[in-house]
Structure formats: C-alpha cells, structure tokens
Chain A
C-alpha cells in the first residue's frame, strides 16, 4: 500500500504541525549537502534559489541556454491566491474547495489545502522581488476572476504573468549564482538517473554543446522538469519540453501517477496545416470578456459579421447559465468539440469556434480591452493575420497541461529515496483537471514554501551521501547513456525523429485526446509497440554524438515519448470512468456530461514499471474526502 504520509489532525493544522515535526539541518551543516535541481522553470528556479538562500550547496541543470527561458514563461493569465483583497468572500477554505471540486475529486485534500494556505505568501514574496503585478489607481494590487472561479482572486501582470513570475524566480536564482551558491549548467540534458539500493545518488547528463557525458553526485535530486504534453506532438508546450527525466525516473523504479490526466485547453489558435509545429494558447482570461459562439445552423459559412444575432448559438451561456463562458477548461473544451462534431465549427476544416469581443468593446471601449489583452490580441494577429478587434477570434482546444506526473508523498518525495518531484512534474494537486491560474501557484508553492522544508527533513534523517562518480553505478550509467546514443546514430534508416513524433501524436490525439473509448485505446495499445519497433529499426539521424546535434537530442526524447505513450494509454484504458480531463465515452450522463465512478475509481493510479512495458504494475492510493464531499460537478 502506498503511504502518502499525510499528517494526522485537522486539515487546517496539518501543514503547521508537520512543519514543526520535520527535522532541521543545522545551519552550519547545510553547505555540506549537495542538492541537484533539474529544470529551471517556476518550480525549479524557486526551489534552487530558496535552497541556496538556506545555505545548501545547489546545482541546477536546464536544457535551455538560460534558466530564464523555461516554458513557465509562456503562462499568460495569472496566479491565484486567497488574499480576499476584493472583499468578495474568498478564503483559504474556498480556494481549497474550488480546487478539489475543479479537480473532479481526484486530488489529495491535504495537499490542496496546503497549496491554498501557502499561496498568499507567494504573492507577498513576488511583490517584494519586484514583480510588476497589475495595480489599481490607489496603488493596491488588482485582481480578476479567472477560469471558473466566482471570486476575483487572480493576480496578473498584463497577459504575461508567467513571464514576470519566472523572471522573479530567475532573478532570485541569478543572485545565488552570482554569489556562487548555485552552480548553473545550461544546455545540459538529463539522460539517466543514478540509483543505488533504492536511493538516488546523482544524475548522468549530456552537455548539449560539446556532447560530453557527465556524472554528478548529490545527496538529493529534485526533478522540476515540467509536463509531458508534447507526447501529442502538437501542444502549447515549448518545442523542447519532454518527458525524459520523469520517464528515466520511472524506469529506475519511481511510480508514475495518473498519466492519462491531460488538460485540453479550450482557447488555442486552431491548426492551419501540416507544417504546423506547435499550437499557441490564448489565455482563458479572454473568456471573461469574450463570448463564445458558433452558428446555429450546420455548414453556415457566412463570415461572422453576416450572421445575425438570432442565428448564433452562445452554447456555453445556453447550457451553463450560472457559469456561462467561464466554465472549467475540460467542460469548455468538450463543448467546443461537441459543436464542431455536429458540423457547426467555423474556419478551415470546421475545427474552430468564435470568441467574440464586439460586445465587450462596445461596453468598455477598445482602450480598456487593449489594456487587458493587448499582447494577446497582437499575438493572435501575428499568427492568423486577422485583427481580433474587428473580427471574432477563432479558437479550438489544444493539449496544454498534464495533471499526471511522478507520484509523490506529502513531502513531495517520489518512491525513490531522495528523489523529489515538484511543479508540473509531479501529480499531486490538480486531480483530474487543473483550474486556471493554479499552475503558477503550485510551481511556486512547491519551490518557495514546501520543498525547502521537506527536503531538509530528508537530509537530516539520511545524512551525507558521498559518492565516487568515476566508477560503479555512475560509470555504468554513463555507459548506458553512451550506448543508447550510439544505437540511435547507427540505425541509419529512412524516417526522421519528427516523422515518428507526428505519427505518435496523431494516434494519441485520435485515441487518447479530448475523449477516449475502450476500442480506440486498444488500437493505440496495439499500435504504439509497432511505432517503437519501427523507430528502433528505421530512424534516420545525421551528425555525430560529439558536439551540438539537435536531431540526436530530439530522437532521444521521441524514444521516451513512445515508451511513455504506452503507459498513458494503459492508464486511460484501465480508468473506465470519466473524470475531469479524462472523458471516457462509455461513462457519461444523458446530457453528455462526464460521469465519475467513485465506488470503483476514487484512487490515484500509480504505475510501477515491469520488464514487459505492456504490463506495468498498478498501485492504488485511495482518496478519501472529509471536507469537500464528492458530488457531480454542476456549472449550470
């Protein structure tokens, strides 16, 4: 049985009690502990900076050329906190309640409560760092309502909140690098994890400029490597985002939880053609002022301004009068797919719906809309060559965030001793669906205010872990990485890494995307091993292992995506209920809404690797709800 190590006692006191019980490392001893952080996004940069502030010896690795470029930077809308500055009835308990409910009762109550507790400190800290949040004329912080919340609890910096928060964490990290408290390794990729006797000892990396393989020993390793949305090939993730670090951990025995929980974001720019390399998100804050509609009649190809009001279907406002355009992401995405499946979609291929600002522009004026969303409108205009001030935007759902991730206990430690996972890389706080403005909150909560406490307890208990990196496990780890690279380069087949990646992505989007069913998933389970076999026989690469070789990097990541995809569809197949972002067609209400099966599936599915990749072992962590009692989510 998995032990999540959730502290006893009333939920309001669990974290405080736990913090007191955690062992401390003597300040003079902290510098003797070496901690490796992989990934430099919100979670990784904030964790690394904070650990260095505390006095630990920290090394950070990222694949980008600078820690400032991690994909947290692309988050647009905002970050939640239960400050109740707007006096509209918000509280820690309400944020906790909304997040558990929004996650469709598939998250851990204790973790979510802690998240709601510490988020207020995040806002304080970021303001002190110089993050230029939006303000009112009186000088106080501004808030907006966001993504399915009925209170205004979202803090934002124009449409670039992720950028500003990441630059805040980056500045804190940079300060520690300048003080020589953090050793920064940019353009480095994790290839293997070194685990001995169930305990993590370090990592094997590849210097992406020189091609050199390196060994790095540590007393603890933190994976802050983000999500796996790029398994679909087309997603809103940056091109470099990958599952390799998390999947290497899985291969070494860490459990992977709920891989089938993926979030399809409702407001992205539709696909235009085969050449498309990625999808672009339009912040869902746009749904605060934009109205979503499609023509009432099938096959209506008139331009939007020629379709009279009476012939438009504002389908979210019609179906969900209480929440209207602000229903949670999973609900909005499925509704968009529904109207497109009915043949009422707009734009090329009928895969799009309108997001219309004309009424808001009339009501508030163009200047007010430009101030709120100017950069988003500009971004949209650049990609589509349409002016959203004049014609409605066209949007369609796209893969955006992954709620699944490495299984961690309350201390954010995986099932490998000393290996922690934070931010999107873990599974813990969002259940089966993440609410808007919660990803930034979780990444920074883990990095600034949770991990720095819990990792100290681990180090205090386990003591130093000195390792010789020249031989033993480190040497075999380097040899394994080197052999894999050599193998990729010697296949000399006909198809490029991108060709395999596109093929895999299309298969997953069709069978394990916005809606899933048994036969479709079985097809995927049969097809993925074939893709893998062909990959390892027919891959074409160029260049050498020494030096900068971007196709080699891509090939390694695609190989892991293929293996990971198999786990994802196995999880999706086993969970025959619908919940949050996981919609099983077999399990829906008469009205087509998701239908959970709490009796059978109120658990976290944590998978352990086995020698046969088609048969990983399932471990269940039962979920119990004492405060937010499961009910059918209703946004009507």
Chain B
C-alpha cells in the first residue's frame, strides 16, 4: 500500500510547528500505524533527516503512552482502538493521512507529536487514591463487595490515561478522565472515607490545569479506546453535589 502522510513537525515547546508531507510506499496491510511511522523514520534517518518524534511504549493498547490525531480522530476512526492497535488495513490504498498531536492548552507540545500530559498526573496526585499505608490493611475478604459494584469500579478503572478524551472534546475538558477515577473509588466501600475531599480536590486541580468545561458533547466516550462511559461524568457531578451538601 502507499500513503501520503501530512505530519505535524515542531522542534520544541516554543517553536512554531507546521505540516510536512511525506509520501510512503511499499507498506503491508498488516503493518500497525506506529510501525508505519517506524518505517518512515528509518527512511528519514537513512537520508539524514531527523525522525518524527512520537510517544509509544507497550504497543498493545494498555500503557496509554501513544496517541495522536489521525484525520481528525483521536487515535482512530475505529471504536475502542488505541493508535498502536490501528492497522493500515483500515485505510484505503493511496489515502492522504493527516497526523497531528493532541490539541489542548493543558497538553503543551514538546516535540512533533509528543505532548506533556503531566496535568493528568497532578489530578491524581491531588486525590485519586485511597490513603492507606502498606501493612495496615485488614484481610482482603473482610469487607464483602457486591459483584455489581466491583464490576462498575473495574469499568471505570480501565482508563489508560492516554488523553484521547481531552483531545476529542471541543472544550478540551478532562471530565471523563477525572470522573473515571472518582467513580472507581466511590463505587467501593474503601473509597468512602475520603469521598468528599477527593472530588473537591480533583475537580479543583482539573480546573486549575487549563482544561475546559464539559458541555455534554459526548465526544470523549466516542474517542475513548477503553469505552469509558460518559455516565461516569454524571456520577462525578452527583459526587460534587453530594460534597456541596455534606462537605
């Protein structure tokens, strides 16, 4: 297969970026999208050009490192697919593909397709945990947890922190990411003692980090490679009201 790639190139955080066009040919349909970038990079390096910088690590859809906008879709036009899970058989031969980094004020571009997502870490640091020290836990079966609650917590906990929800949102909101952690911990009895403080602190950090507000577009769920539901955003809002009433 052959493609024309229009790739965002930006030297560093302060530089002005632009699209650069690269034709690539001789690509097998079983090549993954990141392998396509590998092949292009090998060819660029062979002729002495600097390869395209992109984030990636596990290449099996779980670490959340990779991600960029492909033809305007976060990760992929395919449902529940990370960039590394996207394969070239999903494109048509000869297609032009536009590749750019996540676009959000809270995710500054570091180079080419790499962005700084440390704002996500700061949201977790402000309250996305249960404060327990190693050694002090009771027996694991001491507190029965209904299967439905455990399953709901797991649905929320499946978030890989890739940032596609922010990239897909017209407001660049981080509500899906934040709500997933809040919903996970609020679904479990272990999360209850810090429930009020947690939602207040995490939402406050989120708002101070430069993310936009949620206006119910639902683009986040559509883009989420793990299918995290927008129902968790409703849950976050309920937790916020709860915190306002009882906090």
Q: Do A and B bind each other?
A: yes
Contact status A547-B111, CB under 8 Å: yes
Contact status A239-B157, CB under 8 Å: no
Provided the pairs A174-B128, A178-B125, A496-B46 are in contact, do residues A135 and B147 lie with their beta carbons within 8 angstroms?
Answer: yes
Which residues of the partner chain A approach B120 to less than 8 Å between Cβ atoms?
66
Least distance between B82 CB and chain A CB atoms (Å): 9
Determine which of B11, B65, B190 lies in contact with A64 in the assembled complex, contact meaning CB atoms within 8 Å.
B65
A372 within 8 A of B: no
Least distance between A446 CB and chain B CB atoms (Å): 12
Chain B residues 95-137 with CB under 8 Å of chain A are 110-111, 114, 116-118, 120-121, 124-137
Contact status B191-A141, CB under 8 Å: no
B51 within 8 A of A: yes
Q: State in angstroms the CA–CA spacing of A131 and B177 once bound together.
A: 17
B57 within 8 A of A: yes
A108 within 8 A of B: no
Which residues of the partner chain B approach A383 to less than 8 Å between Cβ atoms?
32, 85, 87
Which residues of the partner chain A approach B110 to less than 8 Å between Cβ atoms?
209, 548
A131 nearest CB neighbor, chain B only: B157
A163 nearest CB neighbor, chain B only: B62
Contact status A139-B146, CB under 8 Å: yes
Q: State in angstroms the CA–CA spacing of A65 and B118 once bound together.
A: 7
Contact status A124-B28, CB under 8 Å: no
Q: State in angstroms the CA–CA spacing of A449 and B136 once bound together.
A: 12
Chain A residues 154-199 with CB under 8 Å of chain B are 157-158, 160, 163-164, 167, 170-172, 174-175, 177-178, 184, 186
Contact status B59-A121, CB under 8 Å: no
Q: State in angstroms the CA–CA spacing of A46 and B133 once bound together.
A: 11
Contact status B53-A550, CB under 8 Å: yes
Least distance between B140 CB and chain A CB atoms (Å): 4
B244 within 8 A of A: no
Contact status B63-A130, CB under 8 Å: no
Least distance between B56 CB and chain A CB atoms (Å): 6
Contact status A132-B50, CB under 8 Å: no
Least distance between B195 CB and chain A CB atoms (Å): 12
B78 nearest CB neighbor, chain A only: A382
A103 within 8 A of B: no
Least distance between B3 CB and chain A CB atoms (Å): 14
Q: State in angstroms the CA–CA spacing of A27 and B160 once bound together.
A: 37
Contact status B137-A124, CB under 8 Å: yes
B234 within 8 A of A: no
Which residues of the partner chain B approach A240 to less than 8 Å between Cβ atoms?
57
Interface window among B35-43, B207-215, B235-243: B35-43
Q: State in angstroms the CA–CA spacing of A132 and B46 once bound together.
A: 48
Which residues of the partner chain B approach A498 to less than 8 Å between Cβ atoms?
38, 42
Contact status A171-B124, CB under 8 Å: yes
Contact status B35-A277, CB under 8 Å: yes
Contact status A68-B129, CB under 8 Å: no
A125 nearest CB neighbor, chain B only: B137
Q: State in angstroms the CA–CA spacing of A157 and B188 once bound together.
A: 14
Which residues of the partner chain B approach A551 to less than 8 Å between Cβ atoms?
41, 45, 51
Contact status A170-B124, CB under 8 Å: yes
Determine which of A68, A134, A275 lies in contact with B38 in the assembled complex, contact meaning CB atoms within 8 Å.
A275
Interface window among A69-77, A350-358, A422-430, A520-528: A69-77
Q: Can you list 24 A-B contacts with CB-CB less than 8 angstroms, sorted by A residue number?
A: A64-B63, A65-B118, A69-B64, A125-B132, A127-B140, A128-B138, A132-B154, A132-B184, A135-B146, A164-B154, A177-B125, A239-B59, A240-B57, A275-B27, A275-B30, A277-B34, A278-B59, A378-B80, A449-B134, A496-B42, A542-B44, A542-B45, A542-B50, A542-B51
Which residues of A are interface residues toward B (Cβ below 8 A)? 46, 49-50, 53, 64-71, 73-74, 83, 85, 121, 123-130, 132-141, 157-158, 160, 163-164, 167, 170-172, 174-175, 177-178, 184, 186, 209, 236, 238-240, 272-273, 275-278, 280-281, 378-379, 382-383, 385, 448-449, 452, 496, 498-499, 540-543, 547-548, 550-551
17 more A-B residue pairs beyond the given contacts A125-B135, A139-B146, A383-B85, with a C-beta to C-beta distance below 8 A: A69-B57, A121-B137, A124-B140, A127-B190, A128-B137, A128-B138, A132-B153, A135-B145, A140-B141, A157-B157, A174-B121, A178-B125, A273-B28, A385-B89, A540-B46, A542-B51, A551-B51
